[in-house]
């Protein structure tokens, strides 16, 4: 037989490969922080602040100083008022993708569409806050865990105790790297004998609070984020546990100029289209204004364990 029409012989009629109608996202940590009371939101600079810096006072009242024994008829001395402050500086965080008309026409699967870039702006805005908070976990003066040693249930309980000793008020939130949480979960399964139970987050909790919330243990909610930094020359991960007042954050609400090339997402993320007609290029730019700072150091504990 001869002259059969076979796939290898019709190179001018077919593509070397056809694009699927779906695309696969590259690996990235997409776990956003939950709306949790331990994360203290201190304000929006666009609402009458007239400054990019929000100063949060600390004040030693409501039982900070006790009454002193004073003789009958004697004058009581003044007690010095203890105070302090934390400044949270809000700055711009931005990102831009620029694609040619030809690239958008041939990309397929909607991978380079304005809608996809807008969704990316929303997700990236939330994850930028997650990254800023996670990167403060290794800053606390109180540290539990041992370098080069896997995280254990005991490390988790030690962190709770340290916060209780510091008079930190719950609820508490732990932010752990995936490796730390995996080691913690393994130790829990092998050594606890079921005496203490881990409560996984329900689908409804995740829907309300964000994908990073994995559950709670001993009354402490746990978020897993791979933005948790390394410590000790990269040998360890520096996760943490904290109460309200340890981590303060602020932001700014953004507005548009009424341009059809601008869109405000959730009042906080500005998404813009910037067209360069001469080059046939369109840039998709996103902005968010954020600030994160450590507040009261004693209200947080760093959990340093093997990476």
C-beta atoms surrounding 106 within 10 Å: 10
Residue 25, domain member (yes or no): no
In a domain, 232, yes or no: yes
172 in any annotated domain? yes
> Residue 194's pLDDT is what?
56
Segment (H or E) for 176: strand 172-176
Kindly give the parts of the chain with pLDDT less than 50: 1, 3-6, 10, 208
171 preceded by cis ω (within 30°)?
Answer: yes
Nearest to 285 by CA among 267, 263, 255: 263
pTM of the complete model beyond 0.75? yes
Specify the number of domains making up the chain: 1
Write the pLDDT tens digit of every residue in 289-300. Answer: 999 999 999 999
Name the burial class of residue 292, with classes exposed (0-12), middle (13-18) and buried (19+) by CB atoms within 10 angstroms of its CB: buried
CA–CA distance from 161 to each of 53, 157, 168, 175 (Å)? 33, 6, 10, 17
Classify residue 160: in a domain, yes or no: yes
The range of the structural domain enclosing residue 148 comes to 140-246+297-306
Both tokens of 192, joined, read 């606890």
Alpha-helix residue ranges (DSSP H) falling in 57-109: 101-107
Residue 122 placed within a domain? no
> Is residue 18 a part of any domain in this protein?
no
Say what the pLDDT of residue 3 is. Answer: 45
Q: What is residue 149's predicted lDDT score, i.e. its pLDDT?
A: 97
In a domain, 123, yes or no: no
The pLDDT score that the predictor gives to residue 6 is: 44
Q: For the segment 67-88, what is each residue's pLDDT rounded down to a tens digit?
A: 999 999 999 999 999 999 999 9
Q: Are strands 53-59 and 262-265 parallel, antiparallel or unpaired?
A: unpaired
CA distance linking residue 112 with residue 108, whole number of Å: 8
Instruction: CATH number of the domain at 152, please.
Output: 3.30.2320.10
Pairing of strands 262-265, 236-242: unpaired
| Confidence at residue 4, expressed as pLDDT on a 0 to 100 scale | 44
* Residue 252, in any domain of the structure: no
In whole angstroms, give the CA distance from residue 214 to residue 192.
19
Q: State the Cα–Cα distance between residues 160 and 86, nearest whole angstrom.
A: 24
Beta strands (DSSP E) in 190-229 are 198-200, 213-217, 220-224
307: Cβ contacts below 8 Å, ≥ 6 apart: 177, 179, 230, 234, 235, 236, 237
């Amino acid at each position: 037989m001869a002259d059969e029409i076979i796939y290898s012989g019709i190179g001018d009629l077919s593509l070397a490969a056809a694009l699927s109608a779906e695309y696969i996202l590259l690996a990235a940590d997409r776990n956003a922080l939950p709306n949790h009371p331990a994360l203290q939101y201190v304000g929006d600079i666009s609402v009458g602040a007239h400054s990019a810096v929000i100063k949060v006072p600390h004040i030693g009242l409501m039982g900070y100083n006790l009454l002193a024994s004073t003789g009958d008829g004697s004058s009581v001395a003044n007690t010095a008022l203890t105070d302090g402050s934390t400044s949270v500086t809000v700055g711009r965080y931005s990102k831009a993708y620029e694609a040619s008309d030809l690239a958008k026409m041939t990309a397929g699967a909607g991978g380079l569409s304005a809608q996809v870039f807008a969704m990316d702006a929303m997700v990236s805005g939330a994850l930028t806050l997650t990254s800023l908070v996670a990167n403060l976990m290794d800053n606390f003066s109180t540290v539990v865990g041992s370098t080069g040693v896997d995280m254990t249930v005991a490390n988790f309980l030690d962190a709770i105790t340290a916060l209780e000793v510091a008079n930190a008020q719950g609820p508490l939130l732990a932010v752990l790297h995936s490796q730390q949480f995996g080691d913690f979960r393994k130790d829990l399964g092998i050594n606890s004998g079921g005496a203490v139970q881990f409560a996984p987050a329900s689908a409804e909790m995740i829907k309300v609070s964000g994908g990073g919330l994995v559950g709670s243990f001993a009354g402490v909610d746990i978020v897993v984020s791979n933005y948790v930094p390394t410590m000790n020359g990269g040998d360890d991960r520096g996760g943490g546990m904290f109460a309200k007042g340890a981590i303060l954050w602020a932001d700014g609400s953004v507005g548009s100029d009424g341009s059809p090339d601008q869109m405000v997402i959730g009042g906080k993320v500005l998404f813009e289209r910037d067209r360069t007609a001469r080059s046939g290029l369109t840039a998709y730019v996103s902005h968010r204004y954020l600030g994160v700072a450590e507040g009261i150091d004693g209200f947080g504990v760093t959990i340093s364990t093997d990476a």
